A and B are shown apart, each in its own frame.
Chain A
Amino acid sequence: TQLLEQSPQFLSIQEGENLTVYCNSSSVFSSLQWYRQEPGEGPVLLVTVVTGGEVKKLKRLTFQFGDARKDSSLHITAAQPGDTGLYLCAGGGGADGLTFGKGTHLIIQP
């Protein structure tokens, strides 16, 4: 079973601060995905990273896939209250389904 561990589990910061959350595994994944989930809704895909060392940017969000394709990070610059939510990483997919981490609960206080 491939496991994904996310850290920190909870994070509460002030608006305007920067933050990084992590997704780690002992297994190699063909791809990793990041989802954001808001209360009462299903997860929504933010990005997919495929190549080791890949960096993708989505406005103030920067996603990086580790060189060995075992880990990933999400960095948010100048966080805003709208960034509040549960951030989930997921690996695998295709014929094997996705394995999700337990997520990072992020709260951005105005």
Chain B
Amino acid sequence: DAGVIQSPRHEVTEMGQEVTLRCKPISGHNSLFWYRQTMMRGLELLIYFNNNVPIDDSGMPEDRFSAKMPNASFSTLKIQPSEPRDSAVYFCASSLPGIDEQYFGPGTRLTVT
């Protein structure tokens, strides 16, 4: 089975541009999580969905960040406008119903110049 798929793997953009990160969870997993990882702050939970519904977005840093999950097999994380401090690796993870273990994608390394 394919694992969690993320695209793009690398994104370099200029400050002020819109960035869209994409994630396809493992089939059958009903929970999806977006994380951001930096050396300074480690792995931070941004938002997560259960059955396509956003449950907790308290980790989203500010209004420039938004996430959607239009169906069970696709989610996006959008940053508009992007800023240099958004540079990080963004991970998507999914899990089965009622199970704590999460399966991570390979991440998107975002660089905002």
Contact = CB atoms under 8 A, between A and B. Distances in A.
Whether A and B are associated in the same complex: the answer reads yes
Contacts of A100: 35, 42-45
Contact of A41 (B42, B43, B44, B107): B107
Contacts of A41: 106-107
Interface string A88-110: 10001111111111110000000
Interface string A73-100: 0000000000000001000111111111
B42 A101 contact: yes
B43 to A, nearest CB: 4
Contacts of B4: 42
Nearest to B42: A102
Interface string A41-56: 1111100100000000
A48 B50 contact: no
Interface in B75-93: 91, 93
Category for how many chain B residues contact A: 20 to 34
Contact of B104 (A31, A42, A92, A99): A42
B18 interface: no
A64 interface: no
A31 B106 contact: no
B43 A94 contact: no
Given A42-B107, A93-B100, 14 more contacts: A41-B106, A41-B107, A44-B104, A45-B103, A48-B100, A94-B100, A95-B55, A97-B33, A97-B45, A97-B48, A97-B55, A100-B45, A102-B42, A103-B43
Interface of A: 30-31, 33, 35, 40-45, 48, 88, 92-103
